[in-house]
Structure 1
Amino acid sequence: MNALIIEDEKLVAQELAASIAEVDATINLVGTVGSVKTALTWFSEHAEPDVIFADIQLADGVSFTIFSKYQISCPVIFTTAYNEYAIQAFKVNGIDYLLKPVDHDELKQAIGKARKFAKPMAHTGLDVQKLMDALNLPSPFKPTFKEHFLGSARNSWVPIKISEIAYFVRDQLIFLVTNTGERYILDYDSLDEIEQLLDPSIFYRASRQCIIHINAVHTLKGLANLKLQLVLKAPNKSFGIDISRDKAPTFRKWLEK
Structure 2
Amino acid sequence: MNILIIEDETKTAKALKAMIERLGDDLHVTGIVPSVKAAIQWLGNQSTPELILSDIQLSDGLSFEIFRTVQPPCPVIFCTAYDQYAIQAFEANGIDYLLKPIDEDKLARGLRKYEQMRQLMGGRVQTIPPGLETLLKQLVHPAYKSSLLVFKNEKIIPISTKDIAFVYSVGGIVHAYTQRGETYLIQEVLDELESILDPSLFFRANRQFIINRAAVQMAEHFFNRRLIVKLSVETPERIVVSKVKASDLLAWLAS
Q: Could you tell me the TM-score, scaled by structure 1's length?
A: 0.49
Please give the TM-score of this superposition, normalised by the length of structure 2.
Answer: 0.49
Greater relative contact order (CA < 8 Å, ≥ 6 in sequence): 1
